[in-house]
Chain A
Amino acid sequence: MAAASDRRRINAPSSGTSAPVFARTVKEPGYLQSLRPARTRRPNELRKTFLQTGIVPSASGSAYLEIPTTSTPNSKSTLIPPTSSLKITASIQGPKPLPRSAPFSPSLLLTTTVKFAPFATRHRRGYIRDAAERDLGVHLETALRGVIIGERWPKSGVEVVITVLEGDEDGWWGDAGQESASGMNGGGWALLNVLAGCITVASAAIVDAGIDVVDVVSGGVAAIVRDPTARNETERKVRILDPSPAEHQEIVAACVVGYLASRDEITEIWMKGDVGADSDGLIEGATYAAVGSVGVLKDVLLEAVEAKFKNQAATTSKEGTKRKQQDVKMTG
């Protein structure tokens, strides 16, 4: 582990630790399979999304996104963690002036950081950013850069900081041992879901910060999965929206887009796996998913604005009488 040499943090025992292995998963093969989650949603049905803005008062804009899992089979009867839900916070620092040493920039400099919490996934993650997190940061920057009207903030910079408190999983954890199923095409499917979540939550935070955008961008994922039950056709592939990777034994291909719904534009696209001939269909599916999340996004933003105005109206009506006490006199 690289963290062993980190002198600025508290380190784990140098010999390393291992995650607990549960006896029944080793000794009773049938038991393991009984825990396998299955998709209960229809192919075109998205998971429910919870979104809230303004969670970090000291930031200029912030948002929190949670997509709970639909399949929690038996969380009370076992200590084995069920499939995790997606929990992401985003916070915007800025726009603020660039340091004097920085070269002139005619438009807003966007910096995006994506970091997983150590407890975000089944395997504990370190504090130092790894390649996957950097990769996500770059993808997110691409998705956002085309949306922000950067010319309105010359010589300034803005930080978009994303913390993934809990991420989707690459596949069902029970399959991790036998590499046959997901090992064929690499795995890493969770990153697509996380990226879609990041795009949506960052977009909400940017609007919350009052940064001008051409449209509200949102993320969506679609995937092609192989249906194991369909035996009659050998290559039975199903296109689904908003896949939860743990619920599928084999994902053939997946695609995430950053989509501007009202302009019908795509700012970011990331496709993985063996798409075959139908790549357009997959992208279209992802945009459908993005349209689904932009609906939530717009509702939440509208609500936030309404609440703000209501607050303002309430304070201004009180202010007439309270105004004198509100001001603090400067003496001395």
Chain B
Amino acid sequence: MMATTTSTHQPPALSFPRPIFAAVSPHPFLQAHLTAPNARKAPQRANGRTAQEFRTPGINTGSLTHCNGSAVVRLGNTSVVCGARAEILADVDAAAAANGAIAGADEQDPDEEREEIESLRLLVPNVELSTGSTPQHIPGNAPSSFAQTLITRIRSLLLSTHLLRASDLRILYTPPSSPDEPDEATAAELKGYWVLYIDIFYISIDGNAFDAAWLGLLAALQKTLIPHAFWDEDLETILCSDDPSDAHSLSLRGLPIPSTFAVFEGKRDWDECSEDDETDWMLSDPDAFEESVCRESVCVVVDCSAGKKGAKDGILRRVEKSGGGVVDREGMRGLVRRAVERWGVVEAVFSGKT
């Protein structure tokens, strides 16, 4: 947005150019925007969106050479590079012993698989904010509490949604049946695991870092190709086939999409203490400026891909809420509805790509 220049005629009321108003008193600035002066048009936020409006993500995949799957996601001015890279965890003896005979079972309880992935640390997501993406994160310091919170949230969502199957990450070896008893099928041995390093780099942050990171991670994982790995008896090591037709992609469970809302608490006027006047706004997909004025935030993760009816029946995967008590039960119901709508939009972007 360009800075407005001073006008030729001075208006009588105290008036500032927009950037100065926003910098000097951010809270009244946003409130002045949200209280619409004219009833014909829906009130707009400072960034030109309505309170309910999300930013449409732009997704680009496969741009990094050294990754098994990668994505660049833009959410307005927030942009994220995510690369997923698979490496082999060969030293699996101790881990396998702890887990018992897991290799045999084909269909497993998702919770057991989660246990397997979590205890072996097969998923290693990390974020980097200190890339000059925002003035708050200057390199040279340890990861800030914001970065640590962010990555913990991403990891816990990754595990709790059971997004990845442990069977995709196992490297199995079926020994050739012995010549004495050729009929007897030999059980597959577990030789190793694929470990997925998921590195999320922010190029620029303009609010809603979590949603952008998660969309980047999803897009990268959807495109991830794991090479076919096998145990080589001669060399006694795990080798991979470099033929793309042998490789498999990850079969993800569902498509959980987060929607973040910021709750803006407007200041009520003293003279009119009417309760019916709307003074709190739930802003979808807040930008950096809005995040700086809002205390309460809600993140709703829904997944509607399981149902056949599209966006009609969704599964609520996670609700995170912090910072205040404005959103009540009714408000939360509305937010979930908005999150389901959002799911439809994001899903369309994803399926447009795939």
Contacts of B88 in A (CB 8 A): 17-20
B326 at interface, CB cutoff 8 A: no
Q: Which residue of A lies closest to B46 (CB)?
A: A328
Q: Complex formed: what's the CA distance from A62 to B227 in Å? A: 37
From A120-128, A147-155, A183-191, the one touching the partner chain is A120-128
Q: Does B143 interact with chain A (Cβ within 8 Å)?
A: yes
Inter-chain CA distance A316–B131, complex, in Å, is 34
Q: Is the CB of A20 within 8 A of B199?
A: no
Q: Is the CB of A9 within 8 A of B83?
A: no
Closest 6 CB pairs of A and B: A91-B132, A161-B132, A119-B83, A17-B87, A56-B204, A84-B65
Sample of 8 A–B contacts (CB below 8 Å) = A12-B124, A23-B232, A58-B135, A62-B204, A117-B201, A119-B83, A327-B18, A328-B15
Whole-angstrom distance between the Cβ of B151 and the nearest chain A Cβ: 6
Known: A57-B204, A77-B244, A117-B81. A328 touches B239 (CB 8 A): no
The answer to whether residues A10 and B235 also contact, given A17-B87, A120-B66 and a CB cut-off of 8 A, is: no
- Are B15 and A329 touching (Cβ within 8 A)? yes
Q: Does B108 contact A (CB under 8 A)?
A: no
- Nearest chain B CB to A314's CB is how many angstroms away? 9
Q: Return the contact of B139 from the options A83, A113, A118, A323 (Cβ within 8 A).
A: A113
A33 within 8 A of B: no
B219-258 vs A, Cβ < 8 Å mask (1 yes, 0 no) = 0000001010110100101111111100100000000000
CB-based contact A22/B87 at 8 Å: no
Within the assembled complex, what's the spacing in Å between the Cα atoms of A254 and B180? 63
B-contact 0/1 string along A52-88, CB 8 Å cutoff? 0001111100100000000000001111111111000
**Contact, CB under 8 Å: A80 / B16:** no
**Interface membership of B128, Cβ < 8 A:** yes
Is B162 on the interface with A (CB-CB < 8 A)?
no
B4 touches A57 (CB 8 A): no
Evaluate contact between B64 and A165: CB separation under 8 angstroms.
yes
Q: Does residue B77 face the partner (Cβ distance < 8 Å to A)?
A: yes
Q: Give the complex CA separation of A92 and B87 in angstroms.
A: 34
In angstroms, Cα B91 to Cα A111, docked, is 42
Pick the contact of B2 from A127, A165, A311 — CB < 8 Å? A311
Which of B25-33, B278-286, B314-322 lies at the binding interface? Answer: B25-33
Q: Tell me if B52 counts as interface (CB < 8 A to partner A).
A: no
B201 contacts across to A, CB distance below 8 A: 117, 163, 165
Is B348 close to A, CB under 8 A? no
Residue B140 lies at the interface, judged by CB distance under 8 Å to chain A: yes
Instruction: Point out which of A9, A26, A319 has the most chain B C-beta atoms below 10 A from its C-beta.
Output: A9
* B73-100 interface code vs A (CB 8 A; 1 in, 0 out): 0000101010101111111000100000
Residue of B nearest to A17 (CB): B87
Chain A residues contacting B186 (CB-CB under 8 Å) are: none
As a 0/1 sequence over residues 160 to 185 of chain A, the CB contacts with chain B under 8 angstroms (1 = contact) are 01010110000000000000000000
A255 partner residues in chain B, CB cutoff 8 A? none
Given the complex of chains A and B, what is the CA–CA distance between A159 and B132 in angstroms? 8
Interface size bucket, A side? 35 or more
A90 on the interface (CB 8 Å rule)?
yes
Q: How far is the CA of A26 from the CA of B241 in the complex (A)?
A: 11
Q: A56 to B66, Cβ gap below 8 A?
A: no
Tell me if B17 and A119 are in contact (CB < 8 A).
Answer: no
Inter-chain CA distance A15–B94, complex, in Å, is 10
Q: Is the interface of A mostly helix, strand, loop or mixed?
A: loop
In the complex, which residue of chain B has the Cβ closest to the Cβ of A56? Answer: B204
Say yes or no: A161-B239 contact (C-beta < 8 A), given A56-B203, A312-B2.
no
A330 at interface, CB cutoff 8 A: yes
| Chain A, residue nearest B1 (CB) | A315
> B197: which A residues are within 8 A, CB to CB?
12, 118-119, 124
Q: Using A10-B124, A23-B232, A56-B132 as known contacts, say yes or no to A326 and B4 having CB atoms under 8 A apart.
A: yes
| With A117-B199, A159-B132, A330-B32: A80-B242 Cβ-Cβ less than 8 Å | yes
Select one of A20, A96, A330 contacting B227, CB under 8 A: A20
Tell me whether A11 is interfacial, beta carbon within 8 Å.
yes
Q: Within the complex, what minimum Cβ distance (angstroms) separates B343 from chain A? A: 27
Asked if A24 is at the interface (CB within 8 A of a chain B CB), the reply is yes
A residues 17-46 touching B (CB-CB < 8 Å): 17-26
Q: Is the CB of A13 within 8 A of B139?
A: no
Q: Tell me the complex Cα distance, A23–B247, Å.
A: 13
CA distance in complex: A96, B135 (Å): 10
Does any Cβ of A come within 8 Å of B56's Cβ? no
Per-position binary interface string of chain A over residues 224-265, scored 1 when its CB falls under 8 Å from any chain B CB and 0 otherwise? 000000000000000000000000000000000000000000
Segment touching A, from B6-14, B295-303, B304-312, B329-337: B6-14
Q: Are A84 and B66 in contact (CB under 8 A)?
A: yes
Q: Which residues of B contact A77 (CB under 8 A)?
A: 243-244
Q: Which residue of A lies closest to B230 (CB)?
A: A23
A243 nearest CB across to chain B (Å)? 18
Residue from the list A10, A165, A332 in contact with B81, Cβ < 8 A = A165
Question: Out of A9, A91, A124, A326, which one reaches B18, CB within 8 Å?
Answer: A326
Chain B residues, Cβ within 8 Å of A24: 241-242
Nearest-neighbour CB distance to chain B for A58, whole angstroms, equals 5
When the two chains form the complex, which single residue of B83, B139, B267 contacts A161, counting CB atoms closer than 8 Å?
Answer: B139
1/0 contact string of B186-217 vs chain A (CB within 8 Å): 00000000010101010111100000000000
Using an 8 Å CB-CB cutoff, how does the interface string of A302-319 with B read, 1 for contact, 0 for none? 000000000110011001
Q: How far is the CA of A294 from the CA of B193 in the complex (A)?
A: 48
- A22-B240, A23-B241, A58-B206 known; A332 vs B130 contact (CB < 8 Å): no
Interchain CA distance A56-B273 in the complex, whole Å = 43
* Interface core residue of A89, A96, A316 (most chain B CB under 10 Å): A89
Q: Please determine whether B244 and A166 come into contact, CB atoms closer than 8 angstroms.
A: no
Closest to A82 in B: B65
- What are the residues of chain B within 8 A of A12 when measuring CB–CB? 121, 124, 195, 197
A20 touches B130 (CB 8 A): no
Contact A20-B240, Cβ < 8 Å, known A312-B2, A328-B16: yes
